[in-house]
């Protein structure tokens, strides 16, 4: 073979550069760097995962001419399709319908069959892309179901490849590693390796508003997930490939923050990255502002911008979804709360009794109340739960409320759009407004109705 040539494109996976951010991080004490995983030949960090999964599948008995099936948001599919093209495997990929047309078309360009499924269904719904992929795999002979959400080859790929590469590039100078949270393979695999080398290195996860991870890490309760636009991060269930114990800090970002930062990274830093990269940088900046320390922070850039030209980089799509400044829409949660009576949020302590909570509900004329342990949110208690306990005789007025705490709520931020809040409250009883881990507001369906009614009423002349 000619000197300097690679035997095939898979040999080009890895060895991606690390670049310092400059303009989007002005004024921060910390230095923030990005690892440009979008420069892998398949366009994302999932190239590493795809290689490792297929290698392990072949060792387990996958035969030539077999079929690879996977539920994917696009990047894992692209990696598997690239490798399959070289090795002669067939591919079937199942995707949620919120994914960009570019991702769908790129998978079909490799000759893969792509099956689309509705996004807004529960993970165990037979129509969900998880369940459809599983069913196709069960019905296909000589099939490898990649199952990235539960395949240990996923985090192991980053433990064997990305982690050592980062350590070789940065060593002890690196203080913080930050990445978006999806299947968990990235932060779990890289985090395991880096913490073995430097135990006090911090792992910072970034989660979109609507995903389950943030609330669970903060409160250990499973709240209601709801839909969001950013692709490739966040989950509405808990993959076994995610090791939440390895995470030291977690920050939350909304769609608008993700997309505006993504556009800034391209236009101000020359980094042609996708929405999950913008999300991770936005989260890293939040961490740096909160920390205030002089640290070296490395952020992983999962994929490139070319897959999102019709969305994030399309001004018309951005305006239609209320992500550009000149699109006011219905406003935000902050606007809604401004129309409610001022005052601190009524809450109860997790150690209080049923009697104490009933007194609080009566005193303030409310039907539900957040439960705190110290300053930490533990969940909600509803009046119907108190009534059920007393009617059934399963407790008394002196019983603790711990067993009554429930998770039938969603959490939003002050900047969450009212349009999104409408969808949230159609799926859950109540929305808690969180800022810096504290509850700063409670929004019910009647609050939203009142806000929309006031907006619809012409101002008095």
CATH of the domain at 244: 3.40.50.1100
Catalytic residue numbers, as ranges: 46
For residues 90 and 84, is the Cβ–Cβ distance under 8 A? yes
**Per-residue model confidence as pLDDT tens for the chain (461 residues):** 899 999 999 999 999 999 999 999 999 999 999 999 999 999 999 999 999 999 999 999 999 999 999 999 889 999 999 999 999 999 999 998 888 888 899 999 999 999 999 987 888 899 999 999 999 999 999 999 999 999 999 999 999 999 999 999 999 999 999 999 999 999 999 999 999 999 999 999 999 999 999 999 998 889 888 889 999 999 999 999 999 999 999 999 999 999 999 999 999 999 999 999 999 999 999 999 999 999 999 999 999 999 999 999 999 999 888 888 655 678 889 999 998 887 889 999 988 999 999 999 999 988 889 998 877 888 889 888 888 888 888 888 898 888 888 888 889 999 888 888 888 888 788 899 988 778 899 999 999 999 999 887 765 44
CATH number, position 435: 3.10.580.10
Residue 325 maps to a domain: no
From 98, 122, 145, the end of a domain falls on 145
pLDDT at 174: 98
pLDDT at 461: 42
Same domain membership, residue 348 and residue 301? no
SS3 197: helix
pLDDT at 327: 54
> Residues in the chain, how many?
461
- Which residues fall within 8 angstroms of residue 62, CB to CB, at 6 or more apart? 54, 89, 142, 144
Strand residues in 143-189 grouped as ranges (E): 143-145, 176-180
- What DSSP string describes 8-43? SGGGG-S---EEE--STTTT-SSEEEEE-GGGSTTS
Residue 326 maps to a domain: no
Range of the domain at 95: 46-145
Domain count, the chain: 3
Same domain membership, residue 165 and residue 91? no
Residue 6 maps to a domain: no
pTM above 0.75, yes or no: yes
């Amino acid at each position: 073979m000619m000197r300097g040539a690679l035997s095939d494109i898979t040999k080009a996976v890895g060895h991606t550069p690390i670049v310092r951010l400059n303009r989007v991080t002005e004024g921060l004490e910390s230095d923030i760097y990005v690892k440009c995983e979008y420069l892998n030949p398949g366009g994302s960090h999932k190239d590493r995962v795809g290689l490792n999964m297929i290698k392990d599948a072949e060792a387990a008995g996958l035969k030539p001419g077999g079929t690879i099936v996977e539920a994917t948001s696009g990047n894992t599919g692209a990696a598997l399709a690239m490798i399959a093209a070289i090795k002669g495997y067939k591919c079937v990929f199942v995707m949620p319908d919120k994914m960009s047309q570019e991702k769908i078309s790129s998978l079909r360009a490799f000759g893969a069959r792509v099956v689309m499924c509705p996004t807004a269904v529960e993970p165990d719904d037979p129509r969900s892309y998880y369940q459809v992929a599983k069913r196709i795999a069960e019905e296909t002979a000589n099939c490898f179901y990649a199952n990235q959400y539960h395949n240990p080859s996923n985090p192991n790929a980053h433990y064997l490849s990305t982690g050592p590469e980062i350590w070789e590039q940065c060593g002890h100078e690196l203080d913080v590693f930050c990445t978006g949270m999806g299947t968990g393979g990235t932060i779990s695999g890289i985090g395991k390796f880096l913490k073995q080398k430097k135990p006090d290195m911090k792992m910072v996860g970034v989660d979109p508003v609507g995903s389950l991870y943030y609330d669970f890490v903060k409160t250990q309760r499973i709240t209601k997930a709801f839909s969001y636009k950013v692709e490739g991060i966040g989950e509405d269930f808990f993959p076994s490939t995610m090791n939440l114990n390895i995470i030291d800090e977690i920050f939350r970002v909304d769609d608008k923050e993700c997309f505006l930062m993504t556009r800034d990274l391209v236009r101000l830093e020359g980094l042609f990255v996708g929405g999950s990269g913008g999300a991770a940088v936005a989260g890293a900046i939040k961490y740096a502002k909160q920390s205030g320390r002089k640290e070296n922070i490395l952020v992983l850039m999962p994929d490139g911008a070319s897959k999102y030209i019709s969305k994030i980089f399309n001004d018309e799509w951005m305006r239609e979804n209320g992500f550009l400044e000149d699109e006011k829409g219905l406003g935000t949660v902050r606007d809604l709360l401004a129309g409610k009576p001022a005052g601190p949020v009524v809450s109860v302590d997790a150690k209080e009794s049923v009697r104490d909570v009933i007194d609080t509900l009566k005193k303030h004329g409310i039907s539900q109340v957040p439960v705190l342990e110290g300053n930490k949110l533990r969940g909600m208690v509803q009046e119907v739960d108190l009534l059920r306990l007393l009617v059934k005789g399963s407790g008394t007025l002196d019983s603790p409320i711990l067993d009554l705490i429930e998770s039938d709520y969603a959490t939003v931020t002050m900047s969450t759009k009212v349009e999104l809040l409408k969808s949230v409250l159609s799926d859950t009883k109540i929305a808690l407004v969180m800022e810096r881990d504290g509850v700063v507001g409670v929004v019910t369906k009647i609050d939203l109705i009142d806000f929309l009614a006031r907006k619809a009423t012409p101002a008095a002349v």
